Structure 1
Amino acid sequence: MPDNRSLDDIRPLAVTVGEPSGVGPDIVLALTTQKGGTLPPLFVIADPSMLAARAKRLGLAVELAPIASPADAAGVGPSALPVLPLVNRHAEAPREIDPANGAGTVEAIDRATALVLAGEASAVVTGPIDKKALYDIGFKHPGHTEYLADLCASRTGRATMPVMLLTGPDLSCVPVTIHIPLAEVPRQLTREVIEATCRIVAADYRDRLGIPRPRLAVSGLNPHAGEKGAIGGEDEAVIRPAVEALRADGIDAVGPMPADTMFHPEARARYDVAICMYHDQALIPAKTLAFDATVNATLGLPIIRTSPDHGTAADIAGTGKARPDSFLAAIRLAAKMAALSRGTASREAATA
């Protein structure tokens, strides 16, 4: 974690609550118990009336401080939560999905992204969304990650390739393919996709996570990494050539490695991040080791974005049972990445 001086230098983080019928508002309100110098500078893009109603439901005495711009967050006292009000309102109805809330949920993501791209905020920290609720209002993307990539591309005019990083205290994983059926994985898993994913990971680990030469452990697709072609040909025909090309370019990558022996403590000590071939190959070990402390960070974007690695948990919304651990970890990681990115940019400017 960067020291307090580096945190003082970053612009505030833009935080969204995600789906208001879930635990997003609960864990955002829990931030008020962490104030007083223990959190980096931040503000929440939300409907203040919805937050006030949820606080009342939870029995929390929370001071909400509406602000007109991110710069105003610095003037808010340590016991209050700076809130940049939404134009579209959010109804306070835990556990009850309301399509009318969708416009505000998307607005918060859009505004947070725009503020970071404009330099008014340093990173986006997103609360969990309910995809079905957004699909009902015409949302066309599989999830947050893909939407943010298209949003950044439309605002900057540059195409981006988003890469999902799941990172916790003991394990960091990246799935090469994400929200696709398992049957589609072999067809979409190409040497080019593996190489591009690993290059983005290596660059962002260097520039945003402070590891000059990260060690990448690349998993196999098939059991035992294919047993040299005896259990499927993808490992030797696709994955191994990708790893060899990465190594030829100076990236510290090894593989393909059998996935069933990659995640015990001794194996994890030999790499910084595991590059996995599909969604559950990465998320099962990550969530098993640290469900409440794992963070989802999107690499490859022109902005820094993190989020808690859990869903809306609507069944416990408004009950006081939601734990903010992963959300707090996401905030602290976003601040760390922002501070390290600022340091990288300063060093590059000094040597230009």
Structure 2
Amino acid sequence: MPASGKSKNYSAQDIEVLEGLEPVRRRPAMYIGGSDEQAMHHLVAELLDNSMDEAVAGYANRIEFDLAADGTVTIRDNGRGIPIDRHPKFKDKSALEVVMTTLHSGGKFSNKVYDTSGGLHGVGLSVVNALSDRMTVEVARDKTLYVQEYSKGIPKSELKNEGPVRRRGTTVVFHADPEIFGPKSNFRPNTLYKMARSKAYLYKGVEIRWSCASDLIKEKDNTPAIDTLHFPNGLSDYLLTRLNGRATIISNPFSGESSLNGKGGRVEWALAWPEDVEGSLVSYCNTVRTQEGGTHVAGLKTALTKGLKTYAELAGNKRGGIITGDDVMGGTWGVLSVFVTDPEFQGQTKD
């Protein structure tokens, strides 16, 4: 028996075809993992990752990150700026509009523009656009400023030439749509600040300028209203912050970095073994947090175990042969970051 009120007929008229960014608004969880406050923060991560990709590629060294009192987020970099010329496949649209309104569009599917990147699927910017009730994109290229406005994924203006400008890069200003996330959902300053700080640790060559409306910072929240995040020592600085003065078995962290397979690939690590804390390893791939670990974490574990066994053998310690990966990593407090071409993440949320 069909459910009450449901038609018994099932025909071609019942088959829906969702076009443009409509699938994102209908099923946001498919793209950002949900429609709650936590998922809303993923919108910011998508934009920050784009700016970080420009920095890691060597085209930007500064990112500005602002959270306004009404929840509007602004992320500005001094990179190359999204292309604004006509797209060869969609001749009636600029490349900017194609990127903003078309899923699976972007410059990161091959290695022609970026050797490594956190953005892979060409959906990040368009998804943020679809889930924002208002968005403005500014592109400064060739000493000229271009601006276009959007709402819920739909252009609200043509791409406008705003005249000469003495800067370059991309600026995205957006407000998350309360229809999707609910009227009571808000960005948490502390979460966004930690996100920005972790990105600054991961790439020594970038400076992130953080600002937040003081009204949003609660009494017991130690998030600064203004801060400049730049860490010349990279992951070593990150590890020292995480350790927070704890005593460790070895006096100095075991840290280093190395190139990987050419083409911009590299690995960086910083490890310590605290006397009083269980192990905690934070890992990243192309500046994206890998919550569930991955082959890069397994590789680190294998390499450390092999190295210690080899050293024990050279030192004549016969018990070195019984060392296991859990012995090495069980009490490790550390940070691991890799940059690789064509990484494989689990879905758009890149877990």
Which protein has the larger Cα radius of gyration, Structure 1 or Structure 2?
Answer: 2
- Structure (1/2) with the larger strand percentage: 2
What TM-score comes out, normalization by structure 1 length? Answer: 0.32
Bigger relative contact order, structure 1 or 2 (CA pairs below 8 A, ≥6 apart): 1
- Structure (1/2) with the larger helix percentage: 1
